[in-house]
Structure 1
Amino acid sequence: MNTILKILVVLILIAIGVGFYYRTYEDVLLGDQIIGLAVLASAFILMPIFLYVRWKGKRLEDYTLTKKNMDRMRDKGLD
């Protein structure tokens, strides 16, 4: 899964670079479309995969503010 993530990052960065090249030297509209598609891909494809990889194997209860966690944080602060 990490290799897929790295490949997607590289492809999106290449697409943004190509989009800026087209925007600067060729067709502005095509460059804007390429950059826009790369940004959409990073938001709707790359970000969910990244979040899945980072959260895999972790418990959500450790990061939520429940009474148990609040008491535990309060006890740690008094030491």
Structure 2
Amino acid sequence: MTLEVNCPTCQNKVVWNESAEYRPFCSKRCQLIDLGEWSFENHKISSPMKVDAEISADMIEDIEAMLAANEQDFFKE
């Protein structure tokens, strides 16, 4: 059974498998067109992001500890 999807840009059929390099797009061209649409803000996430109103001191300390632990490895790769 093969899964086929429509290319989000041109609506051509795309077989969804490992050999489809640009899936869900049919080509690099369609992939870049879509990226351009996002960069010009023609596509947007419609619902606002929800942020927890309460951030505890414990959470801040945990985040700072994680950042401090990873700071040395940040530029190694």
Bigger proportion of residues as strand: 2
Instruction: Tell whether the structures are fold-level matches, with TM greater than 0.5.
Output: no
Higher RCO (CA < 8 A, seq sep 6+): 1
> What TM-score does the superposition give when structure 1 sets the normalisation length?
0.25
Bigger proportion of residues as helix: 1
